[in-house]
């Protein structure tokens, strides 16, 4: 518990010092939630005189629901890329730069170190996702009309996104303990995040993969239903499994 508290505080200080919060703000909130709806609104105006009238007809039917789905698609890509590359060195850097020698020699336990890192960034990512969704709602509601989008739907979608990104974070944490260079962990999570979406094409198995959470988050009007149960259970199991594996790995690893 002592290690956990100490490392939790250290992670906050480290995140401020290395501008991780700032960079995550741009990847999670600024680009997808603030710039995205604005571009969606301005794009038809800019293209109006350069495109045939028939094509422009497609742009004129943007509703709040469509704008929100567009945000979900953009935010998935932005959030995945930024999370993978900003947090790729979580454990790899600690080991590579020999930052654990002193804490371990003073009696710090690996459980505390790993849990502090995971919980700190899980809270950070969750808060950023929530803020991004609410800011996007503000913009979408101001720029577009029509559709059935409500705060309840928005909140449900954001919960699914939070669970999905917390699952990916646990995988990233484990991979970061495996590789000495964080870049390898970042790329692996990026490829994993995008490639798992392929399973959404197969109706029989898609509900068993975490990416189904992302698929359902965009299903406005039917976000929460019983089909989500397997994906939610599997995601929680994956989080526990990968955090546990990270602790095991950090116990075995030679930090000197």
Partner 1 sequence: MLKRVINITPIDINFMTSTILSMLPFIIPLLIIEYGLMIFALVQAARNEVAYLPKWAWILIIVFFSIVGPIVFLIIGKKKETENND
- Residue with token string 């509900």: 207
> Residue 150 and residue 178: Cα distance in Å, rounded?
42
Measured from the CB atom, the residue of 65 and 94 that comes closer to partner 1 is 94
Measured from the CB atom, the residue of 45 and 256 that comes closer to partner 1 is 45
Write down the least CB distance from residue 103 to partner 1, Å: 14
Measured from the CB atom, the residue of 46 and 240 that comes closer to partner 1 is 46
Q: Three-state DSSP class for 145?
A: strand
Measured from the CB atom, the residue of 20 and 206 that comes closer to partner 1 is 20
Residue 244: CA count within 13 A, CB half-sphere? 6
Write down the least CB distance from residue 64 to partner 1, Å: 15
Assess contact for 129 and 160: CB atoms under 8 A: no
Write down the least CB distance from residue 207 to partner 1, Å: 36
Measured from the CB atom, the residue of 80 and 215 that comes closer to partner 1 is 80
**Number of C-beta neighbours around residue 251 at 10 A:** 11
Q: Which residues bind partner 1 (CB under 8 A)?
A: 18-19, 22-23, 26, 30-31, 34-35, 38, 41-42, 45, 48-50, 52, 85-86, 97, 99, 139, 142-143
Phi-psi region of 31 (alpha: psi -120 to 50; beta: other; left: phi over 0): alpha
> Residue 229 and residue 227: Cα distance in Å, rounded?
6
Write down the least CB distance from residue 19 to partner 1, Å: 5
Pull the structure tokens for residue 178.
Answer: 């495996």
Write down the least CB distance from residue 28 to partner 1, Å: 12
């Amino acid at each position: 518990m002592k290690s956990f508290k100490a490392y939790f505080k250290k992670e906050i200080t480290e995140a401020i010092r290395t501008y991780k919060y700032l960079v995550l703000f741009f990847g999670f909130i600024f680009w997808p939630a603030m710039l995205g709806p604005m571009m969606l609104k301005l794009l038809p105006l800019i293209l109006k005189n350069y495109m045939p009238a028939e094509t422009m007809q497609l742009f004129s039917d943007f509703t709040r629901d469509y704008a929100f789905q567009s945000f979900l698609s953009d935010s998935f890509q932005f959030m995945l890329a930024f999370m993978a590359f900003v947090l790729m060195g979580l454990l790899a850097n600690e080991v590579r730069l020999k930052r654990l020698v002193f804490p371990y020699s003073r009696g710090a336990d690996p459980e505390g170190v790993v849990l502090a890192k995971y919980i700190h960034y899980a809270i950070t990512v969750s808060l950023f996702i929530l803020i991004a969704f609410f800011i996007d709602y503000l913009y979408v509601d101001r720029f577009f009309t029509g559709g059935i989008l409500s705060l309840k739907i928005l909140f449900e979608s954001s919960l699914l996104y939070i669970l999905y990104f917390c699952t990916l974070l646990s995988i990233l944490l484990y991979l970061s303990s495996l590789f000495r260079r964080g870049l390898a962990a970042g790329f692996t999570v990026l490829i994993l995040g995008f490639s798992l979406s392929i399973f959404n094409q197969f109706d029989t198995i898609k509900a068993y993969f975490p990416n189904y959470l992302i698929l359902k988050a965009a299903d406005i009007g039917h976000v929460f239903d019983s089909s989500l149960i397997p994906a939610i259970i599997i995601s929680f199991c994956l989080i526990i499994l990968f955090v546990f594996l990270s602790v095991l790995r950090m116990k075995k690893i030679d930090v000197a």
